[in-house]
Chain A
């Protein structure tokens, strides 16, 4: 057991963890932030994606002990009490989710992606999404939601 201090969604937590505890399990079962989902635990499905110091990462391929001193953001950090984040709104308007299990991971990856790629094409978005499995939507609505968000957010920055 080792003590770690980590900031998750702006709140600092100090917890004792076994070295082998996965960050995904730490977030879900220790902190109770169950919006981060676990779909494969081998890094392919992308459901567990969170931001670590602003970069998207698989929380199932990260040990909790590794994020000592880091800042982690999960899907719960996106919306305010009153309002969804514009990316979430774009998902809603584009019907880009069905069961919603893969959605949190995709939202977090898309936050990182759109932040770093100005005006991505639909093909580039699809390529990014190849690291996320969704069995419900057939992806087209997700691509559209991210595409629209990227256009609107770059428009906002330009104004």
Chain B
């Protein structure tokens, strides 16, 4: 806490981060800092230089001859001790952790060298001789191998579209990009031949569904794979979901080498061969009535998931399925989703996770429609926004939007940016020949995923044959030691979001302590932590469901403490309050007992405890969202538990000479329900915003015509830097979610979803074009102006 006085509740206060002190001292413990077992050897990966080729021959002899080299495992050898990675939709393309005989993207592992240190491992990797017979790569999305093709219809989209007064059609392409965390992938694998099991340390963000995937690929029972994730992780933004592949690869290599093996991905490997967002082409038709009512949407989507359909893909496509209508009350929606393979790196989670792609199409269509209809963009949005009195609102595709007041948010953002003045200033600027544009977008930001949404890739009949799925829960453990020390164990694998701080805030309130009194452990061990199929850090789970698990465990522990105190103080449990490290009787503060004494009794003298209470003070529990069910027979899915709202307005100026886009003003109003710590909230919003501006203006993974990645260093992949991030005015409306314990919703992804299309719409407005592609770098905007 900045300042000394205790707030009425710690939750909701701008409590200082408990994570910071160690990190600032350089005492964070990231996985490359670990040597958890003695005698670790180091791996380097030999990777394919071709996007598509047959492996004719691998000669490892020169590499093996190098002193200090223990093992060179080829793809074939790795395949001999592993199975293909299970996919959500079975395809004819087997995906092993390393290529067996055919490489399908540049950077695909073909062999792994194990040596005394990384320097030697790279020397040896350079000596592995591989003969390839190059094959033609497939890079065009429209020519990709279709591995899933599903059609959906909700309401009467055909009839509504036919009756529409105006139908706005457009093709919207979204580029591949990456959140590219500063810490790359790290895995330490220690295969135990005595019982055929693997202990792996990985800076993963799970275990969630991917622990099962990795275990299956390694041919292990669930308990055969012990996965340990350090408490500190250098960012992920979804990208580190793909670390699961490295667990399989290095697990197999450790087994073959008979040695514990550590692999630290380098940046070139990361940018070329780790993971990526999907690339997407969306053909979207939006039908409007004469007065601008959105009556129907028809999506035709081609989703590029790269060379393999890697679990949990095609989740990028279905995570947003409940929100295909965005923030609008559109009753009729059709969608065709084709998932295609191309010879690019396989995709996975990436900040925004389907949202940037969806809203780029939908909100571009809204902007273009405003022009076609001759209705101001704000009026068009206002006409269609879901009304505040209709929550909880069930969308045609099955999502239950929990709470919100979208119009109030809209009013707020217009006031924040000074919309009317901005419009007037734009008129003046245009009269001077300046290219000033205004863009906006409304975004519904889902959080706490229903793991069942992925099964929409299957038909209802296929789904009916399997286990119904709606996993979404999270676990937590809280314990109090004999001397009343409190430890919270998380299963939310944070990567910088401040989970430990929020956990300490929640439990401090419940136990009448200060956050500084609570130790929070973020390290996760699948053999000891409380986890389930959805545990981890993705799709903004923490504020909705991670906190619910902590809160529930804290409530149960506090209840137990109060029962013991009531026994001590000879009063009713309901009359005991926990405050300042003591349990006291309401109204008689003198009648009190210290937590230390209560804890001592629970540990030292369990026989004396009130009936039904067991020894010790340790609670492990799980919380689940109350509103998530498996997909129904009509392909409706409550794809997420909570839905925040974000509305942004941007004003840009395009330099006529260079095409460079300057953001003159940017305002964003969020409704993320209850804010748990306003300073952490601002951090998440500014971070998500920077990613959104990055993909709007500069960030893109580029491939040449042969499928070679061209953005393989930080000199070429243009991560946004400090001078390019514009000023962001953010404000908040709070309508608590009825479906999350604390009323909080996710909020770190919203601006990554909104900013690309908001800026695109502003550039459209500035230069007078409808069609454009991201990122809007100066050369591309200049080309747009040349065309216009």
Which A residues contact B (CB, under 8 angstroms)? 18, 20-21, 25, 28, 33-42, 44-45, 47, 74-76, 78-79, 84, 88, 91-93, 95, 97-104, 107, 123, 125-127, 129-130, 132-143
Q: Flag the segment in B12-20, B56-64, B307-315 that touches A.
A: B12-20
**Could you show 13 A-B contacts with beta carbons less than 8 Å apart?**
A20-B119, A76-B27, A84-B24, A91-B20, A99-B233, A101-B182, A101-B234, A101-B496, A137-B683, A137-B686, A138-B686, A138-B689, A141-B682
B residues less than 8 Å from A39 (CB atoms): 182-184, 234, 267
B residues less than 8 Å from A126 (CB atoms): 722-723
B356 nearest CB across to chain A (Å): 16
B30 interface residue (CB < 8 Å to A):
yes
The CA of A145 and the CA of B233, in the complex, are separated in Å by: 22
Contact status B723-A47, CB under 8 Å: no
Contact status B182-A47, CB under 8 Å: yes
The CA of A81 and the CA of B680, in the complex, are separated in Å by: 27
A residues less than 8 Å from B23 (CB atoms): 97, 100, 103
A residues less than 8 Å from B25 (CB atoms): 35, 75-76, 78-79, 84, 88
Contact status B182-A133, CB under 8 Å: yes
Contact status B24-A100, CB under 8 Å: yes
Contact status A107-B683, CB under 8 Å: no
Contact status B33-A34, CB under 8 Å: yes
Contact status A95-B682, CB under 8 Å: yes
A78 nearest CB across to chain B (Å): 7
Closest to A123 in B: B723
Contact status A100-B267, CB under 8 Å: no
B389 nearest CB across to chain A (Å): 35
Q: Which of A38, A88, A97, A130 contacts B32 (CB 8 A)?
A: A38
Which interface residue of A36, A98, A133 has the most chain B CB atoms within 10 A? A98
The CA of A54 and the CA of B189, in the complex, are separated in Å by: 39
B721 interface residue (CB < 8 Å to A):
yes
Closest 4 CB pairs of A and B: A35-B26, A99-B496, A100-B23, A101-B234
Closest to B677 in A: A95
Which B residues contact A (CB, under 8 angstroms)? 2, 16-17, 19-21, 23-30, 32-33, 118-119, 179-184, 232-235, 237, 266-267, 495-498, 679-680, 682-683, 686-691, 713-715, 719, 721-723, 725, 727-728
Q: Chain B interface secondary structure, helix, strand, loop or mixed?
A: loop
B residues less than 8 Å from A44 (CB atoms): 713-715
The CA of A35 and the CA of B33, in the complex, are separated in Å by: 9
Which interface residue of B19, B118, B728 has the most chain A CB atoms within 10 A? B19
Which interface residue of B26, B715, B725 has the most chain A CB atoms within 10 A? B26
B residues less than 8 Å from A38 (CB atoms): 32
A99 nearest CB across to chain B (Å): 3
Contact status A98-B182, CB under 8 Å: no
Contact status B26-A76, CB under 8 Å: yes
B729 nearest CB across to chain A (Å): 11
The CA of A20 and the CA of B123, in the complex, are separated in Å by: 12
A residues less than 8 Å from B27 (CB atoms): 35, 76
A residues less than 8 Å from B727 (CB atoms): 140
Q: Which of A21, A99, A123, A132 contacts B183 (CB 8 A)?
A: A99
The CA of A39 and the CA of B719, in the complex, are separated in Å by: 13
A56 nearest CB across to chain B (Å): 15
Q: Which of B20, B235, B690, B713 contacts A138 (CB 8 A)?
A: B690
The CA of A84 and the CA of B237, in the complex, are separated in Å by: 29
Contact status A33-B183, CB under 8 Å: no
Contact status B26-A75, CB under 8 Å: yes
Which interface residue of B2, B237, B496, B679 has the most chain A CB atoms within 10 A? B496
A residues less than 8 Å from B235 (CB atoms): 98-99, 101, 135-136
A7 nearest CB across to chain B (Å): 17
Contact status A100-B232, CB under 8 Å: yes
Which interface residue of B19, B20, B181 has the most chain A CB atoms within 10 A? B20
Contact status A92-B24, CB under 8 Å: yes
Contact status B26-A33, CB under 8 Å: yes
The CA of A93 and the CA of B15, in the complex, are separated in Å by: 10
Contact status A130-B183, CB under 8 Å: no
Closest to B494 in A: A99
Q: Which of B29, B30, B181 contacts A135 (CB 8 A)?
A: B181
The CA of A66 and the CA of B777, in the complex, are separated in Å by: 40
Which interface residue of B182, B680, B714 has the most chain A CB atoms within 10 A? B182
